[in-house]
Amino acid sequence: MRAASLAAVALCLGAGAPVVPAVPPGLGAAVAAAAGGQLASKQSAAIVVGVVSGGRLVYARAFGNATPDSTFAIGSVTKIFTAVSVMQLVSRGKLSLSDPISKYLPNLTAFGAVTVRQLLNHTSGIPNYLDDALARFENVTKTTPQAILASVAARRLDFTPGTDWNYSNTGYVALGQIVERVTGLSLAEYEKRNIFEPLGMQRTTSGPVAKNAPAAPFNGDPGDWSWYYADGDIFSTIGDLARFDIALMQGKVLPHPFFEAMQQTVPYATLTVGLRDAEGLFVVEGQQVHIAGHHGGLAGYRADNEMVPAKDFAVIVLGNGAYDTRPMVHAALKTYIPGYSPERNLAAQLQYDPAPDVTRRAAALLAGAAVGHWDRSQFEPLVSIQLPADETMMKQLAPLGRFERLQFLSKAYLQSGVYYVYSAVFAHRTIALHVVLDREGKFVGFSM
């Protein structure tokens, strides 16, 4: 393993040579400890962390088999660039966020009521193509954005547009195609001309082939890169992402009012207490700080790009593997933001539940099964007859001890219905519970 390396990097997009902001004492040790913990857990072989303050990249350090200039796939951090591309066109009067997508993509007439804004903030109801593609291993062959959109065009919407939230990579594929239709350029060429080249992002590319050889994926294979388009196809470095963040926060790549519009949250798109979706960004509110950014995850890579625009601050994490980016992000934020504490909202987050009725029903089923009684009326009939016998289920659950409660973890839309994941807390052990409800509200999946 290569020793950690420190780059004395200072990037500035303004005129002159302002004084480099001092790096707070303890930043290096805190970030190194966090990154070292991820490497020690064998979740990654290479991690790079960068910190922006006062319009400059003041800290860039590599851990493991990397240098501060290493190129990585950034996954869904790509969506920030897609959103900026769209908002640039809005700022120039080329399109409107309220335009129906059928204006630009006539082949998606079934989704004609969906607007550009709803694609940006994941409230379109358009099904997410990538989950199914990965589950069926389709990503080992080549595809195109047009084929991706065609694969979902005949499917029904997960919900009426603008009434709910579900993370949809498909929506960003559609946004990329809208940029191409409006400009007459490929999305990669548009981003090159309007973002990468003007900002001097010389080591950043979008599309299936990276300009510079990227760090190899670790413990994962993303498959053919054609499956990751406007939703996840950018390769970049800490230095280039710092240039982008600085320009974005200073209004140099997008006028300030339009960057502020990107941070407008959707009331019903609350993922957990204090965390909401916006337009190409996720926003953390509270703790006397407003954080706007995006996480990225592909098989073999993880990334994070979090900005605090009011303080002209950003922290960027790139690497390979399935490591957790949060320890490095939190280490930097704790050092720079007085009073910041990721643990502060933990109790409130544990109380968050977007579907309390489903949780109540699932908990009642599990409690009944633990004492030898399945309420089979809650299940779809064909599923009901396949359930284990009451006595069998009771014996399987007995070693766990008394059932205590369910804690909501996540929710996602599937072709067959809605998928929920819980922590099922028993007296002796906590396990994961996976349930699926069909569109009529009957349980069609219930597994631990």
Could you give the residue numbers annotated as active site? 76
Strand partners, 411: 420
Which stretch of DSSP H or E encloses residue 148?
helix 145-153
Asked whether the beta carbons of 50 and 241 are under 8 A apart, the reply is: yes
Maximum Cα interatomic distance, the chain, rounded to a whole number of Å: 77
CA 310 remoteness from chain centre: 22
Q: 10 Å Cβ neighbour count for 252?
A: 16
| CA dist 172 → 97, 293, 366, 378 (Å) | 14, 16, 38, 36
SS3 of residue 163 by DSSP: coil
Handedness of CA 303, 264, 93, 108 (dihedral sign): positive
d(CA 246, CA 57): 9
Q: How far apart are CA 142 and CA 316, in angstroms?
A: 30
The alpha carbons of the chain give a radius of gyration, in whole angstroms, of: 23
Selection from 377, 374, 423 nearest residue 394 by Cα: 374
Beta-carbon count within 10 A of 170 CB: 23
Q: Which of 219, 207, 352, 213 is nearest to 297 (CA)?
A: 219
Tokens of 77: 């951090």
Which contiguous run of DSSP H or E holds residue 235? strand 234-236
- Say which residue the tokens 């962390």 belong to: 49
Bridge partners of residue 340, in order along the sequence: none
